């Protein structure tokens, strides 16, 4: 059923393109009703407009808090045009039907995102009349067109031109669904803010509002559908807030995004130049260096076989030199170290220079399809500790605070007779931070500032250690070992000694810590306790 638009109510905070839309409506014979500042903007553009107070017979009052909350507005929106009782009530009380509502809401999220936002400012920017009109119009979408996004203005006009001044029911249903999503996310933002202010970490009801970024080709597997959503109110630099650069011939996938997030969250741990290579959610390469290009070289050499088809994350800008080294990874380092080839699915960095982009896209055939993600500068002082870490189970969700604990030298204890050297502590730090981002059970091996072996996700820690030692080979001699959780028995220490490990970092806290420490002392291994565990399931 098509409904002709004869009267429209416009009341917007975001006034982008509103005069263009209002003029297009007016030119098509639509009567425009408006409020306060919106009415002034429309009138100043030379467009006829009727004030809301002239419709309601009541002035806007209480600093604009009360203006549209009136039967002549909501009756005009909610009245069913095919219901004789409704139509009779509208005639009896002089209510003129409103066929289109164009509303967007007070900028609550933008307001509370400001560092100097006062509680009073936040409360004042909670819209009441706007959501009420949106909900009324959306409920009665059988007859009313609800427009909440400037991107829909031209679509509305196109519908009117195609359908003799009317919109289709299918189009109105689409806009109503979008409108209810808007009010739901708006209320979720308010709820989050107020619960945070109250210190209520886990309220009885939790709403998580997300905005769709894009549809994905499929989910983890081709028979699953998928889409990418972002949290628009996150203040931290992340994959959700990043820019996906143009030029790639293949769109990013569900698995690419999971791996990209894993890689970027690890590289964010380091203030010095760092590079990470991730494959299937686990790092197979990680290194730091005073030079970002050297850091990448060392990260790639951590496991040249697993790096094939991996995700590269860097915490420094990609210039021509670094881009060239990445594109020539196989020829420069991989072939001589057992790789059969190399390409990257995704490269993530704060920024890419123009000549670096040109090199990536033209040097190798795979450069045409690699996805490039530009995050902007990384600020380690701006981590969002209010955001939930959310895990889904069938029929529910598990919420927890994010694991933002890193390397805290003041909290370290040294239980063994032998203490690590300053150089060993540097490698232990990398081993510990890397272990934090590897699936449990985890063993990591680091030497000379780079990851050389990883044992991930095994059902017991001994097996993880054996995998890490196998991957590292002879390089494990003199290496630094990290474990995401304590050792329940000395068996891992015995195996580490056989592999030539020089020092170990682990949380401590096992009932058999004394036996573990004694085994380390017997093997001449220095051990560090962090007092923190980093399980990652």
Catalytic residues: 139, 280
Tokens at residue 467, please?
A: 């995998």
Q: How far apart are CA 31 and CA 47, in angstroms?
A: 10
Among 423, 413, 438, 441, CA closest to 505: 413
Q: How far apart are CA 119 and CA 122, in angstroms?
A: 5
Q: Rounded to whole angstroms, what are the CA distances from 289 to 389, 430, 438?
A: 30, 11, 21
Q: Rounded to whole angstroms, what are the CA distances from 379 to 71, 113, 384?
A: 51, 16, 11
Helix (H, G, I), strand (E, B) or coil at 15: coil
* Look-up of token digits 């706007």: 130
DSSP string, 296-311: HHHHHHT-TTTTTTEE
Q: How far apart are CA 410 and CA 422, in angstroms?
A: 15
Phi then psi dihedrals of residue 120, to 5 deg: -65, -35
> Where is 363: in which H helix or E strand?
none
Phi then psi dihedrals of residue 247, to 5 deg: 115, -25
Asked if omega into 69 is within 30° of 0 (cis), the reply is: no
Within 14-162, where are the H helices? 18-27, 36-44, 52-56, 71-78, 84-92, 108-112, 119-124, 129-139, 153-162
Q: How far apart are CA 520 and CA 20, in angstroms?
A: 75
Rounded to 5, what percent of the chain is helix, strand, coil? 40, 20, 40
Q: Rounded to whole angstroms, what are the CA distances from 523 to 18, 478, 479, 504, 527?
A: 75, 13, 14, 12, 11
Helix (H, G, I), strand (E, B) or coil at 111: helix
Q: How far apart are CA 321 and CA 304, in angstroms?
A: 20
Find how far residue 240's CA is from the centre of its chain.
Answer: 3
Helix (H, G, I), strand (E, B) or coil at 346: strand
DSSP string, 371-419: EEEE-----TT---TTSEEEEEETTEEEEEE-------GGG-B--SSS-
List, in sequence order, every beta strand (DSSP E) within 424-507.
442-447, 450-456, 480-483, 503-506
């Amino acid at each position: 059923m098509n409904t002709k638009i004869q009267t429209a109510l416009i009341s917007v905070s975001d006034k982008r393109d509103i005069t263009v839309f209002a003029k297009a409506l007016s030119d098509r014979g639509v009567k425009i009703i408006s409020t306060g500042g919106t009415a002034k903007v429309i009138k100043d553009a030379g467009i006829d407009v009727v004030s809301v107070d002239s419709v309601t017979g009541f002035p806007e009052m209480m600093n604009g808090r009360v203006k549209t909350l009136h039967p002549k507005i909501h009756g005009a929106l909610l009245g069913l045009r095919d219901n004789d009782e409704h139509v009779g009530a509208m005639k009896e009380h002089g209510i003129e039907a409103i066929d289109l509502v164009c509303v967007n809401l007070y900028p609550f999220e933008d307001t509370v995102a400001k560092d100097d936002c006062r509680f009073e400012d936040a409360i004042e920017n909670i819209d009441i009349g706007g959501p009420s009109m949106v909900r009324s119009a959306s409920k009665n979408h059988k007859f009313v067109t609800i427009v909440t996004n400037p991107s829909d203005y031209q679509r509305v006009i196109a519908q009117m031109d195609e359908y003799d001044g009317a919109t289709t029911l299918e189009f109105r249903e689409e806009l109503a669904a979008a409108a209810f999503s808007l009010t739901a996310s708006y209320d979720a933002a308010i709820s989050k803010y107020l619960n945070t202010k109250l210190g209520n970490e886990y309220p009885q009801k939790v709403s998580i509002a997300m905005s769709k970024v894009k549809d994905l080709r499929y989910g983890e597997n081709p028979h699953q559908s998928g889409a990418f959503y972002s949290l628009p109110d996150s203040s931290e630099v992340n994959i959700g807030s990043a820019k996906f650069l143009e030029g790639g011939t293949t769109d990013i996938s569900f698995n690419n995004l999971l791996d990209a997030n894993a890689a970027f969250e690890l590289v964010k741990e380091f203030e010095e130049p760092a590079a990470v290579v991730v494959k299937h959610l686990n790092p197979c390469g990680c290194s730091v260096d005073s030079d970002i290009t050297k850091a990448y070289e060392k990260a790639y050499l951590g496991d040249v076989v697993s790096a094939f088809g991996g995700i590269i994350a860097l915490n420094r800008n990609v210039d021509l030199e670094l881009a060239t080294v990445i594109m020539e990874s196989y020829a420069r380092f991989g072939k001589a170290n057992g790789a059969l080839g190399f390409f990257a699915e995704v490269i993530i960095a704060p920024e890419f220079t123009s000549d670096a982009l040109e090199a990536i896209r033209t040097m190798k055939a795979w450069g045409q399809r690699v996805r490039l993600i530009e995050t902007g500068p990384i600020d380690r002082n701006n981590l969002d500790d209010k955001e939930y870490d959310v895990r889904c189970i069938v029929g529910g969700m598990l919420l927890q605070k994010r694991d933002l604990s890193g390397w805290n030298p003041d909290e370290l204890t040294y239980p063994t007779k032998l203490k690590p050297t300053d150089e060993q502590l540097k490698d232990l730090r990398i081993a510990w931070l890397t272990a934090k981002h590897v699936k449990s059970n985890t063993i990591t091996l680091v030497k000379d500032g780079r990851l050389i072996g990883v044992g991930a996700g095994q059902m017991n820690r001994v097996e993880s250690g054996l995998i890490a030692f196998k991957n590292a080979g002879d390089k494990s001699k003199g290496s630094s070992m990290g474990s995401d959780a304590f050792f329940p028995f000395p068996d891992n220490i015995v195996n580490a000694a056989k592999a030539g490990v020089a020092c170990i970092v682990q949380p401590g806290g096992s009932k058999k810590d004394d036996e573990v420490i004694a085994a380390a002392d017997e093997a001449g291994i220095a051990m560090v306790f962090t007092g923190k565990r980093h399980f990652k399931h």
